[in-house]
Amino acid sequence: MNDVEALVERTIATITMIARKAAKFSGIVAALATIVCAGSFLLGIAALSGGIESVWIVLGIVFGAIAIAAGLTACWRVGSIRRHVPEIANEIKALISDGTSTTRDVIETFDVNDDQSKAGSAIELSREVFHFRSVIGGGLESSARFTAAVTALTSFPWLMLTVIAISTVFGFLSLIFLLALAL
């Protein structure tokens, strides 16, 4: 096996490892967000009355939909990486053979040696990859699947942050609604 094939295999292995972990995490977070948001929404309807109930219904639907949609979007995006591995591998091979320094830097970001992969984590690699958003628009137009994979990995933390923040607020409101129902 030549140097290019080995680099492609390591790159694909790293990308799929991150995608697998991210898909599992986002699926769990999306399911929990759905339960928390729906439960809080129903508790709010039961606890509130009058005009504030109408406001809660609108706000609860809007923010609940944002949280659930962000979780499902993250899950769908990272799941699409695993569905398109052959196309991504072909694009990576073309980028490596292209030989430009920018594309080589992008590929080498995902090239994790065995000793590095034991110490590193998906979060650490995600931080390192994040600054490549500017490179995506500037030199990888011909690599649609690889660009989508890098975009999915770099947008994943923000989508998860959105889901977790909104779900936390819904969870806190659930406690307030439970207190209101108890009194």
* pLDDT level of residue 146 (50, 70, 90 thresholds): confident
In this predicted model, what pLDDT tens digit does every residue of 39-88 receive, in sequence order? 999 999 999 998 999 999 999 999 999 999 999 999 999 999 988 888 88
How far is the C-alpha of 102 from the C-alpha of 136, rounded, in Å?
A: 10
State pLDDT tens for residues 150-170: 888 888 889 999 999 999 999
What's phi and psi for 76, nearest 5 deg?
-65, -45
Calculate mean pLDDT across residues 25-34.
94
Per-residue confidence (pLDDT) for residue 136, from 0 to 100: 53
> What residues contact residue 15 under an 8 Å CB cut-off, 6+ apart?
81, 88, 110, 149, 153
pTM, two decimal places: 0.77
Any idea which residue has 């034991």 for tokens? Answer: 118
**pLDDT, tens digit, for every residue of 79-137?**
999 888 888 888 878 877 776 665 566 666 666 555 444 445 555 555 555 555 555 55
Which of the 8 DSSP states describes residue 72? H
Query: For residue 5, what pLDDT is reported?
Result: 80
Query: What is the pLDDT averaged over residues 21-37?
Result: 94
Query: Smallest Cα–Cα separation from 32: which of 151, 168, 123?
Result: 168
The span from the first CA to the last CA of the chain, in angstroms, equals 72
Q: What is the pLDDT of residue 119?
A: 46
